[in-house]
Structure 1
Amino acid sequence: MNIVEFLVEPMQLEFMARATITTLVASVVCATLSCWLVLIGWSLMGDAVSHAVLPGVVLAYIVGAPFALGAVLFGVLAVALIGVVRDSSRLKEDAAIGVVFTTLFALGLVLVSVTPSQVDLNHIIFGNLLGVSRADLVQVLILGGIVLTVLVFKRRDFTLYAFDATHAHAIGLNPRLLGAALLGLLALTAVVALQAVGVVLVVALLIIPGATAYLLTDRFGRMMLIAPSLAAVCGLIGIYLSYYLDAASGPMVVLANGVAFTLAYLFSPSQGIVTTRVLRRLSA
């Protein structure tokens, strides 16, 4: 088998083509947003919101509403509850996040277990990349397009908010509104990624690309280019490996991202563990 046959064979199957497009869109959208999540320090918040949307998605399915609507509502609810618990008790934010997102996630699991459905709702939890329908793909493209459009057009405001919320307020921006907008986009992004990797692994796509890019550059503009590009490459590698190794597609995509992070962690030109030690020995 030559390289052309290797690349073309999986794409001749319609379900593989849909899975590949879904993976690319989810990877790029998640990676773009992950730049701000890593910069602000919202990794745990990303984990919380991505898990907390599960009951909203299931309830939306029950009443026949769009998944995105249920996800956004429960994403906002999760953030509000975290704020209430943090501000009205002795608990710190990380503990409040842990309490709220695990409780909402458990509620989602209960709803999945008791909801009669012709569709296997467990796919929401673990993903069903190879089972993405045309309707699912259209939803991913629309939501992904909305998130990317907002992130691109408001990137300067979001970046200023991430670096210095006080300065953002001083020049007339509303930090609370910008934070709420990012959390809303996070909820929408979670729905996009649900189609690819499920609730359990969404946080991986939301954090790993940004963390990897953060190790490779100290400039945010470059980080926004590196993260989605690297995530797209890892997505393609994961899809092709899952096809030829007959392995689970979603986890393989996440695993590819994890390998990329490991390589950056070890061999990043400026921050890699191995690279810095070698440079120290050479300069000694």
Structure 2
Amino acid sequence: MEFLELFEYGFFQNALLGSLFASIACGIIGTYVVVRRLVFISGGITHTSLGGLGLGFYLGVNPVLSAMVFSVLSAFGIQWVSSKQGVREDSAIAVFWSLGMAVGIIFIFLKSGFAPNLSEYLFGNILTITQSNILYLAILSVVLTLFYIIFRHEIIYVAFDSDFARTRNIPVKFIEYLMMFFIAVSIVLSIRLVGIVLLMSLLTVPQMTANLFSSNYTKIMLASIVIGFLGCVGGLFSSYFLNVPSGAFIIFVLIVIFLVCKLFLMFRPSKTVR
């Protein structure tokens, strides 16, 4: 198949659109995750979603919907337990991470027969993304963009220094819980791209790469959207021609981009001061 012929296929067009909107959503929410140092929370929520998927398969309901409800409740639970109950944040993450995985495994085992789509959620398959998935990601991208435009200063204050934000009379708890909600929703809607196992990288690696060149919150966010999309497109094309799993190769391409940028900054000629 010729290179340009790929664009004639609906599944490939869907994959490109899904990559674009997922990159926007993960770029916006992932910047908050990295700056606020919530990487392991996002990993905990990602793996907790398996509980919702297993419950959805067992009850015969939409697994994405059940995973979203389960993930949002887990995100709120982690936030509440770590801030109100005197439990260390890493311990709270471990509890909900293990709970979600355990619940998912139990209900998948109890389901008669094999859950045929489970591997797509675990490891991702961007070529199977549907128009409804694209619509949900597009709506999420628009909502996140508007939310950031309206509450940009509040989000940045909370991300960098929540104590200082309180002195500015910013509703820190409201922002924190709302961002946790968006983290959970973004994770669940992006699972079909790279899967539960690798999704944490999509929320962190583009931001890490952008942070090599700038410390400005907005610039990191915009650059991570571009880097995320380039990684998705590069991984998509490479996985097709090399006949390897698309989800894994998207993350591989993103990490290669990070390493190339890191090496470039390490070995670029330093400017001499005259």
Q: Which band: TM-score by shorter chain?
A: 0.7 to 0.9
The alpha carbon displacement at 1:128 in A equals: 2.3
Greater shift after overlay, 56-65 or 213-222?
56-65
| Alignment CA distance shift 1:125-1:151 (3 Å) | farther
2:151 is aligned, of 144, 150, 154, to 154
State the partner residue of 1:251.
248
The alpha carbon displacement at 1:49 in A equals: 1.2
Structure 1 segment 1-284 matched on structure 2, within 5 A = 6=3, 8-60=4-56, 62=59, 64=61, 67-68=64-65, 70-81=67-78, 83-84=80-81, 92-116=88-112, 119-268=116-265, 273-275=266-268, 279=270
Give me the whole-angstrom Cα distance separating, in 2, the residues matched to 1:85 and 1:222: 30
Deviations 1:35-87 (A, max 9, x none): 11111111111111111122123434535357246424433334425653786
The alpha carbon displacement at 1:24 in A equals: 2.0
The alpha carbon displacement at 1:264 in A equals: 2.3
Structure 1 residue runs without a partner (length 5+): none
Amino acid at match of 2:203: L
1:78 touches 1:101 (CA, 8 Å); kept in 2?
A: no
2:55 touches 2:66 (CA, 8 Å); kept in 1?
A: no
Amino acid at match of 2:143: I
Deviations 1:160-191 (A, max 9, x none): 11122123222221111111111100011012
1:82 touches 1:97 (CA, 8 Å); kept in 2?
A: no
1:27 touches 1:228 (CA, 8 Å); kept in 2?
A: yes
The alpha carbon displacement at 1:119 in A equals: 4.3
Amino acid at match of 1:274: F
What TM-score results when the alignment is normalised by the length of structure 2?
Answer: 0.86
The alpha carbon displacement at 1:118 in A equals: 6.7
Amino acid at match of 1:176: K
1:10 touches 1:243 (CA, 8 Å); kept in 2?
A: no
Amino acid at match of 2:153: R
Give me the whole-angstrom Cα distance separating, in 1, the residues matched to 2:108 and 2:121: 9
1:82 touches 1:100 (CA, 8 Å); kept in 2?
A: no
Amino acid at match of 1:279: S
Give me the whole-angstrom Cα distance separating, in 2, the residues matched to 1:76 and 1:157: 24
| Alignment CA distance shift 1:27-1:126 (3 Å) | same
| Alignment CA distance shift 1:113-1:126 (3 Å) | farther
Deviations 1:90-127 (A, max 9, x none): x6322332232133123223323433477422321111
| Alignment CA distance shift 1:143-1:110 (3 Å) | farther
Amino acid at match of 2:132: A
Give me the whole-angstrom Cα distance separating, in 2, the residues matched to 1:63 and 1:152: 39
Aligned alpha-carbon RMSD (Å): 2.7
1:210 touches 1:227 (CA, 8 Å); kept in 2?
A: yes
The alpha carbon displacement at 1:140 in A equals: 2.9
1:144 touches 1:192 (CA, 8 Å); kept in 2?
A: no
| Alignment CA distance shift 1:152-1:54 (3 Å) | farther
Greater shift after overlay, 64-73 or 169-178?
64-73
Give me the whole-angstrom Cα distance separating, in 1, the residues matched to 2:66 and 2:169: 30
Amino acid at match of 1:108: G
The alpha carbon displacement at 1:221 in A equals: 2.3
Deviations 1:237-283 (A, max 9, x none): 11111111112111111111111111222223xxxx334xx639x78
Structure 2 residue runs without a partner (length 5+): none
Count matched residues. 271
| Alignment CA distance shift 1:120-1:113 (3 Å) | farther
Greater shift after overlay, 152-161 or 193-202?
152-161
